[in-house]
């Protein structure tokens, strides 16, 4: 786990519920649980501040850091994709985005493709991406200020369920993704008993919970969250998501106790981590 990501995760899962701020010495104590030395913490927070992700203020001789609005927006968007799954029946409609980006704007084209994947779209061809979820407007809004990006959004239906499943296998490598979910289950499902018994305490619980989030976070970038009728038989994605949610919840108490002890704070009334 990189120090930069740890700062974001500590704010997103813990510090947001404790006033949204942290003194530098508290960050140093928390990052020490992950074997990140103080000089590295100072360099990382200074860099994040320079990049506009952190703000700072003085409280006596101490420096207090908080995430900026842009950073909170980024965290909240990621949190929704990690913790939420689409429910309910599929209406059978594909939402298609056809884009055009000048050849000279290769960086922008790559950025667009990453954003499409983040919103759950898959490539049917080089410039035609589709999703069973109605998120075309979100993509358009994300690039509304990019005049060189041309986006056309359509809705369409295939000729039947067999064709729909074929489209899904062409747009996403579901077999490879399913194998990765199996690896995640192999790692974390056997640990649930220890989590339930409260075997992990203190920094061990905090580190384990953060590692769990780190290991699971890559999946929303690749998993389009397809409805059941488009998934291969025996799909393990939903099971992996349920194991992740259970493990994350079971480790919450001891991890928060560790954060409270190291920061000298407690969650604000009515605000608890999910």
Q: Mean pLDDT throughout 158-165?
A: 91
Q: At what angle do helices 252-263 and 24-32 cross, to 10 degrees?
A: 130
pLDDT given for residue 98 in this prediction: 92
pLDDT given for residue 205 in this prediction: 96
pLDDT at 270 over 60: no
pLDDT at 274 over 60: no
pLDDT given for residue 137 in this prediction: 84
And the tokens for 272? 């608890």
Question: Distances from the Cα of 165 to the Cαs of 24, 161, 168, 229, in angstroms?
Answer: 52, 6, 5, 8
Model confidence band, residue 265 (pLDDT cutoffs 50, 70, 90): low
> Are the beta carbons of 63 and 23 closer than 8 angstroms?
yes
Give 80 or 155, the one with higher predicted confidence: 155
Q: What are phi and psi of 273, to 5 degrees?
A: -65, 150
pLDDT at 269 over 60: no
pLDDT given for residue 266 in this prediction: 58
pLDDT at 121 over 80: yes
pLDDT given for residue 185 in this prediction: 97
pLDDT given for residue 226 in this prediction: 92
Give 266 or 132, the one with higher predicted confidence: 132
The sheet with strand 21-23 has its strands ordered as 21-23, 62-67, 54-59
pLDDT at 73 over 90: no
Q: Position of tokens 């296998």? A: 169
Model confidence band, residue 267 (pLDDT cutoffs 50, 70, 90): low
Q: Is 5 exposed, middle or buried (0-12, 13-18, 19+ CB in 10 A)?
A: middle
pLDDT, tens digit (0-9, with 9 covering 90-100), for 13-51: 899 888 888 999 999 999 999 999 999 999 999 999 999
Q: Mean pLDDT throughout 146-169?
A: 89
pLDDT, tens digit (0-9, with 9 covering 90-100), for 168-216: 999 999 999 999 999 999 999 999 999 999 999 999 999 999 999 999 9
pLDDT at 273 over 60: no
Give 197 or 86, the one with higher predicted confidence: 197
And the tokens for 15? 């510090």
The sheet with strand 122-125 has its strands ordered as 122-125, 128-131, 94-100, 150-156
Average pLDDT, the chain: 89
Q: Mean pLDDT throughout 95-115?
A: 88
Q: Mean pLDDT throughout 249-273?
A: 78
pLDDT, tens digit (0-9, with 9 covering 90-100), for 220-248: 878 998 999 899 889 999 999 999 999 99
pLDDT given for residue 251 in this prediction: 96
Domains and CATH numbers, the chain: 3-72 (1.10.10.10), 94-156 (3.30.70), 173-263 (no CATH)
> Are the beta carbons of 174 and 231 closer than 8 angstroms?
yes
pLDDT given for residue 221 in this prediction: 79
């Amino acid at each position: 786990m990189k120090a930069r990501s740890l700062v974001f995760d500590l704010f997103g899962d813990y510090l947001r519920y404790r006033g949204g701020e942290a003194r530098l010495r508290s960050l140093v104590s928390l990052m020490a649980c992950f074997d990140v030395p103080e000089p590295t913490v100072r360099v990382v927070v200074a860099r994040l501040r320079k990049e506009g992700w952190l703000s700072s203020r003085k409280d006596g001789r101490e420096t207090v850091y908080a995430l900026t609005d842009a950073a909170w927006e980024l965290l909240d968007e990621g949190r929704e994709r990690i913790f939420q799954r689409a429910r309910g029946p599929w209406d059978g409609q594909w939402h298609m985005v056809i884009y055009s980006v000048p050849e000279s704007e290769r960086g922008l084209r790559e950025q667009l493709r990453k954003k499409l994947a983040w919103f759950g779209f898959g490539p049917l061809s080089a410039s035609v991406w589709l999703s069973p979820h109605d998120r075309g407007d979100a993509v358009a809004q994300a690039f509304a200020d990019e005049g060189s990006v041309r986006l056309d959004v359509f809705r369409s239906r295939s000729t039947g369920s067999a064709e729909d499943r074929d489209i899904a296998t062409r747009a996403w490598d579901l077999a490879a993704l399913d194998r990765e979910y199996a690896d995640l289950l192999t790692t974390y499902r056997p640990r649930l008993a220890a989590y339930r018994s409260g075997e992990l305490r203190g920094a061990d619980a905090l580190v384990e919970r953060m590692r769990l989030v780190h290991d699971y976070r890559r999946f929303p970038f690749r998993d389009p969250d397809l409805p059941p009728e488009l998934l291969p038989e025996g799909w393990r994605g939903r099971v992996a998501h349920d194991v992740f949610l259970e493990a994350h919840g079971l480790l919450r108490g001891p991890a928060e106790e560790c954060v409270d002890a190291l920061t000298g704070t407690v969650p604000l009334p009515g605000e608890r981590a999910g």
